[in-house]
Chains A and B, each alone.
Chain A
Amino acid sequence: GENVEQHPSTLSVQEGDSAVIKCTYSDSASNYFPWYKQELGKGPQLIIDIRSNVGEKKDQRIAVTLNKTAKHFSLHITETQPEDSAVYFCAASIRYGGATNKLIFGTGTLLAVQP
């Protein structure tokens, strides 16, 4: 069945250090991999995504890598700041019929950036 595993479940880093969150997915048909940041009391916010025809994508301090062969993808945050503290979710998208897609979410990573 469709499954996305995410590690670690909690991650504590010092301000300025890098943080890496890793996900694996089970369905080889998955072709879109977004990352969401959820702050306390708010909805998930799309921060970066990657599609299956690309191996790496970067946006300022955030980067994602994708290894389709191994079914792995990762989120890298450099020069972490206290405002990066949140729960981060990875997801894998599967086309469902011809008109929509379904996101399968990982179990989330609570990132705490210590000042």
Chain B
Amino acid sequence: DTAVSQTPKYLVTQMGNDKSIKCEQNLGHDTMYWYKQDSKKFLKIMFSYNNKELIINETVPNRFSPKSPDKAHLNLHINSLELGDSAVYFCASSHQTNNEQFFGPGTRLTVL
């Protein structure tokens, strides 16, 4: 199936830990994104990469570090997790010449 996939789907961890979320797309897109959806369902962009280059960085704490090893993958590493990091994180992808963004299924992060 052509899609945007994320792992893991659920992540429960303690404050202060470091964790990573992985994203892969097989749609042939060259641009990938990370979004955060809070408890009120508000969706906000965090980062965007185009051809492995960071394009958008929306006032996200330095504890969040995205990494794009190739055009098909965009991972998110979070250091020193805080309670306020609890949210659903969505990966998305699009083609440079087309605005249509396709979202993954999300990763629900719970920080205890």
Contact = CB atoms under 8 A, between A and B. Distances in A.
A42 B105 contact: yes
A38, A43, A87 — most chain B CB neighbours (10 Å):
A43
Interface of B is mostly: strand
Interface residues of B, number: 25
Given A105-B44, A108-B42, A96 B56 contact: yes
B55 A99 contact: yes
Given A99-B50, A100-B56, A102-B56, A44 B103 contact: yes
A100 B104 CA distance: 18
Interface string A67-97: 0000000000000000000010100010011
Contacts of A96: 48, 55-56
A87 to B, nearest CB: 6
B96 interface: yes
A35 to B, nearest CB: 12
A100 B42 contact: no
B45 interface: yes
A97 B48 CA distance: 12
B41 A108 contact: yes
B101 interface: yes
B45 A102 contact: yes
Contacts of B106: 41-43
Given A42-B106, A99-B31, A100-B55, A105 B100 contact: no
Contacts of B102: 46
Contacts of B42: 105, 107-108
5 contacts: A96-B55, A99-B31, A100-B31, A101-B94, A103-B45
Interface of A: 32, 34, 36, 38, 41-46, 49, 87, 89, 93, 96-97, 99-103, 105, 107-108
| A-B CB proximity, top 3 nearest | A43-B103, A105-B43, A32-B99
Given A99-B31, A100-B55, 13 more contacts: A38-B41, A42-B106, A43-B103, A43-B104, A44-B43, A46-B101, A46-B102, A99-B55, A100-B31, A100-B48, A100-B94, A100-B96, A102-B45
